[in-house]
Amino acid sequence: MAVRREPGLYDYTPANDRPIVTWPNGARVAFWVAPNLEFYEFQPPTNPLRKAWPRPLPDVMGYAYRDYGNRVGHWRMMEVMDACGVRGTVSLNVAVCEHHPEIIESMVARDWELMSHGIYNTRYTYAMDEADERAMIEDVIETIRKHSGQQVAGWLSPALTNTERTMDLLAEYGIRYTCDLFHDDQPQPVKVNNGQLISVPYSLEMNDTVVLLFESGSPRYYADILKRQFDQLYAEGADNGKVMCIPLHPFVIGQPHRIKPFAEALEYITGHDDVWVTTGSEIAEWYYANHYDAAIEHAAVRTQGSESS
C-alpha cells in the first residue's frame, strides 16, 4: 500500500507570522474541558492493528478500572466541574447512550456538549473500509441525536485511530471540528475534499491518562503542569488568543487520590478574569465566523510566496 510522507491536512503557517485571533470579551485564552466518557467491552472483537486488552480475555483488571469511571469517577469529576462553572465537551463512546443513559442525562441536564469518540473504545477505525467507516459515522450522529437531541459538531476518533479518508468523510457528514491533530495552539483549517473542517486544539500533553498513566506523573505534578500550561498561554494570549484544553477520563481523574489536586488546578484556571470558559463547538463556531477566512487567505499568500521565491 502506498503511504503518504505527511498528512496533507494543513499548510505550514508558523506562530511568528499569522493573523491575530481574538476571543469574545477580549479573553486571552479559550478554555475547554473534554471528559472522555467511554465504554470498554468485556469481549471485544479483534482488530489486526490494535489489541483491545493487554492480557488474555477476560482482562478483569483493565475492564474494572475503566468501569470505575462510569460508576464512581464521572460523578465526582462532574461535581468539581460544576463548582467551577465548567461545562464539559464530552468525547463520547456513543454506546454509553445505551449502556448508561443516566450518564447522558446528567450531562444533557448541564448543557454539556457531546462530541464523537466512536462507538466503543474497543472498536477502532484502523483497517475499516469506506463502507464501515461511513456506517460508524452515521451510527454516531444518529445515536447522539436520538439520546440528546444534539447535532454532533466535534470528533475525536476512538482511541485516536484514523484512516486517510477520515477527515474527508467528517466534513462530508457536516462534522465541524476534529480533535485528532496536535500541531497548534489555535484552531486551524483542515484540508478536505469537499466542505470545511477545522482542528480545535485538544491536548495529549494535558491529557490525564497520558500524564498520569503513560508518563507516570503524580497527581500533584499533574495539577502543577496544568497551572504552568495555563500561565504561559494566558501571558501569550494578550497578543494572540490561545486555546487550552484539559482532556480527562473519569476512571483516572475521578480517583479519590487525584480529585483534590485537580480541583485546585481547575479553580486556579477559572479564577482568572480574561479566560473564556467554553466548549469545543463554541470555539469552533467563533473561529469560523471571525477567523477562518483570514486563515485560509493567509495560508494561500504564504504558500504562493514560498512557491515564487
Task: Burial-class residue 9 by CB neighbours within 10 Å (0-12, 13-18, 19+).
Answer: buried
Cβ closest to other proteins, residue 71 vs residue 191: 71
Question: How many whole angstroms separate alpha carbon 182 and alpha carbon 203?
Answer: 7
Beta carbon of residue 127, minimum distance to other proteins (angstroms, whole number): 5
Angle between helices 74-83 and 256-270 (to 10 degrees): 20
Point out which residues bind other proteins (CB under 8 A). Answer: 39, 41-43, 45-49, 54-58, 60-61, 64-65, 67-68, 70-72, 75-76, 95, 98-102, 119-120, 123, 127-129, 132, 135-136, 139, 216-220, 255-261
Instruction: Name which of 15 and 57 has its Cβ closer to other proteins.
Output: 57
Beta bridge partners of 34: 247
Q: Which is nearer to other proteins, 183 or 228 (CB)?
A: 228
- Minimum CB–partner distance for residue 288 and other proteins (Å): 32
CB-wise, 71 or 298, nearer to other proteins?
Answer: 71
Q: How far is the CB of 26 from other proteins (least distance, A)?
A: 37
Q: Rounded to the nearest whole angstrom, what is the least distance from the CB of residue 79 to other proteins in the complex? A: 9
Residue type, 111: D
Q: Which amino acid is at 16?
A: N
The nearer residue to other proteins, 98 or 231, going by C-beta atoms, is 98
Q: Is residue 85 left, alpha or beta, with left meaning phi > 0 and alpha meaning psi from -120 to 50? A: left
Query: What is the closest distance, in whole angstroms, from the C-beta atom of residue 132 to other proteins in the complex?
Result: 6
* Comparison of 9 and 95: residue with beta carbon closer to other proteins: 95
Q: In angstroms, what is the minimal distance from the CB of 258 to other proteins?
A: 7
